[in-house]
Amino acid sequence: MKQQENMSSLIMIFGATGDLAIRKLFPSLYRLFERGRLNKFAVIGVARRQITNDAFQKSVRESVINALGDKENIDEFISYFYYQSHDVTNSSSYVALRNLADQIDANYSLEGNRIFYLAMAPEFFGPIALHLKSDGLTEVKGFKRLVIEKPFGKSLESAKELNQQIRTAFSEEEIYRIDHYLGKEMVRNIEVIRFANAIFEPLWNNRYISNIQITSSEVLGVEERGRYYETSGALRDMVQNHIMQMVALLAMEPPIRLTTDEVRSEKVRVFRSLRRFESSEIKDYFVRGQYGPGTVNDEQVPEYRAEPMVDKESNTETFVAGKIMIDNFRWAGVPFYIRTGKRMKSKSTKIVVQFKDIPMNLYYQPEKNVHPNLLVIHIQPEEGITLHLNAKKAGGHLDAQEVKLSFANTGIQAMNTPEGYEKLLYDCLRGDATNFTHWDEVAYSWAFVDKISEVWEKTKTVDFPNYESGTIGPKAADELLEKDGFFWWPVSYLEVDMCK
């Protein structure tokens, strides 16, 4: 992995008064600062509203204290923050921004290294990148890197257009497309679990694995994000990026080295092996849902169509389940079932790797079944691994019973487990793009998802709402597995009391 020791950088955050900056970026920068991982640095916050440097620093202070509690060195930390009121659509104000950037660069000896973090709505990404180049902000003697948030387009075509715009100012190596799932500790752990364990890698194929299930469920509804969600839906918001990235990490071949290029090219090979379905087949492989009213945490909640800024007759899906097939030598015949939704029973992201049954079950008697072996990777909220095995029941004759061996990540590392954004910011400072998505990954996963959304958009008759809030989604999602002889492992069954 290419790492840089010298990490001095001017970090320019566009959208510095927004939710992402306040809730995630400032606390993550503070954590890096606290751990001595921010060498020489300064931050310029950019947004339209007219506020002073002092007011901006105060908002940074509040954001850190709200997230992490009181901090002794908070005054020193916020002294590195500057604010520039600037409308990114206004061409003339980029000159003032460049002057401020040059001045701060000189004052802090930042060696012309710049990170441009676009924590703003995606329609601004292209215009900002073009201006950064035309107004000379990218003319630096150090490195320049562009960090952008999801969504990266809303189809392959719009993603291509966006990519062309940002590529006029930044090379592919300089673009860091955030998928915050790739900052999660247990998502990063998938590779290590697979490639550092002699007991898993030989079994990691269609001879021993019967199916893999990925569930990412939320209890929250669409909240205040109705306007955005109406143009997105669960397929674009969750499947195209986070879920497809987890599929790629689970399915990829071992890279020859852990370099950015090698890891990415193995992931791309998975995307290239995804089975492309005919339009007429989509209904057999993918299920969509939308939440109706229901009870969540003992409270009555409204249906999706009654949420703010949502069309009363909306056909936007808030739930997706699917069966993904990877047509290569390793995975032929193994379904990867995926499921994600809002307003579900519990907040949980888990991966279940279900191994095939043993050839002959010596212990089977009615009610004394031997369970399939499962490897469960708990991504959030709890982080860890559980291995479901069979062992002799104490005191019994030769009765088998299921035992669960668990490792709780949070239990051991507790406060030291860095938050996703902290890790991604640190990677970006070091110039390590492994856990950011390459354009090829984006393009292949859009091509895959576009096919589904095209069919769904053309199908006028949708039985929405088709699942009650506070449940596990529509019945059709269960039937998707039942017809293959499988079932979703219930989240409650997979939960373990992880020793802390």
Interface residues toward ligand NAP, by CB under 6 A: 15-20, 23, 47-49, 86-89, 119-122, 149-150
Shortest distance (Å) from residue 340 CB to ligand NAP: 15
Task: Enter the tokens of residue 153.
Answer: 């387009």
Shortest distance (Å) from residue 232 CB to ligand NAP: 9
Burial classification of residue 457, based on how many CB atoms lie within 10 Å of its CB (0-12 exposed, 13-18 middle, 19 or more buried): exposed
Based on CB atoms, which residue is closest to ligand NAP, 154 or 194?
154
Based on CB atoms, which residue is closest to ligand NAP, 181 or 204?
181
Task: Enter the tokens of residue 164.
Answer: 């062309």
Residue 204's alpha-carbon distances to 5, 173, 256, 350, 442, in angstroms, are: 36, 31, 17, 18, 25
Shortest distance (Å) from residue 50 CB to ligand NAP: 9
Shortest distance (Å) from residue 89 CB to ligand NAP: 5
Based on CB atoms, which residue is closest to ligand NAP, 220 or 414?
220
Alpha carbon distance 461, 128 (integer Å):
40
Q: What is the DSSP string of 424-458?
A: HHHHHHHT--TTS--HHHHHHHHHHHHHHHHHHHH
Based on CB atoms, which residue is closest to ligand NAP, 25 or 338?
25
Question: Quick check: bond before 302 cis, omega within 30?
Answer: no
356 in the Ramachandran plot: left (φ > 0), alpha (ψ -120 to 50) or beta?
beta
Shortest distance (Å) from residue 228 CB to ligand NAP: 7
In the β-sheet with 319-325, what is the strand arrangement from edge to edge?
A: 286-289, 319-325, 335-341, 209-217, 348-355, 374-380, 384-392, 400-408
Burial classification of residue 219, based on how many CB atoms lie within 10 Å of its CB (0-12 exposed, 13-18 middle, 19 or more buried): middle
Shortest distance (Å) from residue 345 CB to ligand NAP: 23
Q: How many Cα atoms within 13 Å fall on the side-chain side of residue 218?
A: 14
Based on CB atoms, which residue is closest to ligand NAP, 352 or 442?
442
384's CB contacts (< 8 A; 6+ apart) are 186, 378, 406, 407, 408, 409, 410, 411, 496, 498
CB 498 within 8 A of CB 408: yes
Shortest distance (Å) from residue 464 CB to ligand NAP: 24
Based on CB atoms, which residue is closest to ligand NAP, 331 or 436?
436
Burial classification of residue 267, based on how many CB atoms lie within 10 Å of its CB (0-12 exposed, 13-18 middle, 19 or more buried): buried
Alpha carbon distance 41, 271 (integer Å):
38
Beta bridge partner(s), residue 389: 403
Shortest distance (Å) from residue 46 CB to ligand NAP: 6
Q: Which of 86, 242, 378, 438 is catalytic?
A: 242
Residue 130's alpha-carbon distances to 164, 258, 400, in angstroms, are: 10, 33, 65
Dihedral sign for Cα atoms in the order 270, 272, 277, 283: positive
CB 111 within 8 A of CB 82: no
Based on CB atoms, which residue is closest to ligand NAP, 18 or 411?
18
Q: Does the annotation mark 86 as catalytic?
A: no
Reference 204, options 23, 447, 74, 375; nearest CA is 375
Task: Enter the tokens of residue 257.
Answer: 């080295």
CB 15 within 8 A of CB 125: no
Based on CB atoms, which residue is closest to ligand NAP, 216 or 273?
216
Alpha carbon distance 309, 430 (integer Å):
41
Based on CB atoms, which residue is closest to ligand NAP, 75 or 87?
87
Shortest distance (Å) from residue 87 CB to ligand NAP: 4
136's CB contacts (< 8 A; 6+ apart) are 98
Shortest distance (Å) from residue 260 CB to ligand NAP: 22
Query: Which residue's CB atom is positioned nearest to ligand NAP?
Result: 18
Alpha carbon distance 427, 430 (integer Å):
5
- Report, as residue numbers or ranges, the catalytic residues: 242
